[in-house]
Amino acid sequence: MAQKRAAAMARRLQQRLLSNRMHLRYSDYLTAVATASMGLLEAGEFLGEPVSLASDAWTIDRISGPDVSDKSTVLSFAHIAANAYVDPPHGGEWTDIGGGFNYTEDFGWERDGLRGHVFADTENKTVIIGLKGTSLPYFDDGETSNNDILNDNLFGSCCCGQGGQYAWRRVCDCQTSTDTCNSSCLMTSLWKKSNYYHAARHLYHNITAIYPDADVWLTGHSLGGVVSSLLGLTYGLPTITFEAFPDALAARRLGLPTPPGYRVGDVEKHYTGIYHFGHTADPVYMGHCNSFNSPCTIAGYAFQSKCHTGHNSV
């Protein structure tokens, strides 16, 4: 009964969006998308999994997005993802993007949380958000590394770093016995502590307020790629990530909206607009960096998830 109520609530919000979309300005449509997504997320949080909607509750739209078949485009996104680690802009190892995109904003650098930069074209018609990934404590001077590993182990492990390798950093207390994790506790921890995902949603709302008529694209490396992917799946935004650890486990637990007939982690991943770039020699990207003597484990990171959302490009 509870599942039916949650699904009905999400369905009403989605249908309201679809019935109104032809009468809205683009900026108002973005607000409607956010409202419908919020309803789906609330229902997903209640259920502990994505809400299953009928196929007629969805439409397939052709939207503007980066050409992932073009090498120079992918490299530009890689530069944006790399620049997300650099402050101040245009200093240090900063790389100018070119291609008509210029640095316009930054965010998070005054705090120890989500950080990155915003780029826009000359007409403010397309905005690209680049999110910083994990900073290792040995090179970070303690700036974001503690919050980074908190989010890494919330998103990437089966039970917040519990029940596995001794060196993994535990970021919740949800293990009830050997190989058993309390799912309710885990969901609560994920929603309350995964501040990077929630911070990214607030960031997206702020960006769309500043650029109400712009298309928004996302990119990031490592943890920044995971958060970009989760945000892209939430709002249907084109996303390119680099060397991101598998994110399907986190997406499912967050109850992110999924098209009809699609389950997070499926091999066939059509219509997500998300592209993950990596290589087979990278154990983090491949989901293999979790043995007792792996560098991830030694550093405290618990990467147990195996599947990516979206398309994999290796």
Cα gap 45→28, rounded to integer Å: 26
Query: Would you kindly state where each structural domain of the chain is located, as residue ranges?
Result: 2-57, 71-135+192-313
Q: How confident is the model at residue 265 (pLDDT cuts 50, 70, 90)?
A: low
Quick check: 312 pLDDT over 60?
Answer: yes
Cα gap 83→197, rounded to integer Å: 20
Quick check: 186 pLDDT over 80?
Answer: yes
Among 37-46, 177-186, 301-310, the range scoring the smallest mean pLDDT is 37-46
User: Tokens standing for 284?
Assistant: 């983090």
Among 7-21, 115-129, 235-249, the range scoring the smallest mean pLDDT is 7-21
**What pLDDT score does 170 carry?**
93
State yes or no: is 222 an active-site residue: yes
Q: Is 158 exposed, middle or buried (0-12, 13-18, 19+ CB in 10 A)?
A: middle
Q: How confident is the model at residue 222 (pLDDT cuts 50, 70, 90)?
A: very high
Task: Name the catalytic one among 222, 228, 229, 305.
Answer: 222
Mean pLDDT within 137-147: 76
**What pLDDT score does 132 carry?**
97
- DSSP category for residue 70: -
State the chain's mean pLDDT as an integer. Answer: 83
User: Tokens standing for 137?
Assistant: 């404590």
Residue that wins the pLDDT comparison between 137 and 66? 66
Q: What's the sign of the alpha-carbon dihedral 109, 299, 276, 226?
A: negative
In the CATH hierarchy, which top-level class contains the domain 71-135+192-313? Answer: alpha beta
**What pLDDT score does 25 carry?**
43
**What pLDDT score does 201 carry?**
93
Q: How confident is the model at residue 35 (pLDDT cuts 50, 70, 90)?
A: low
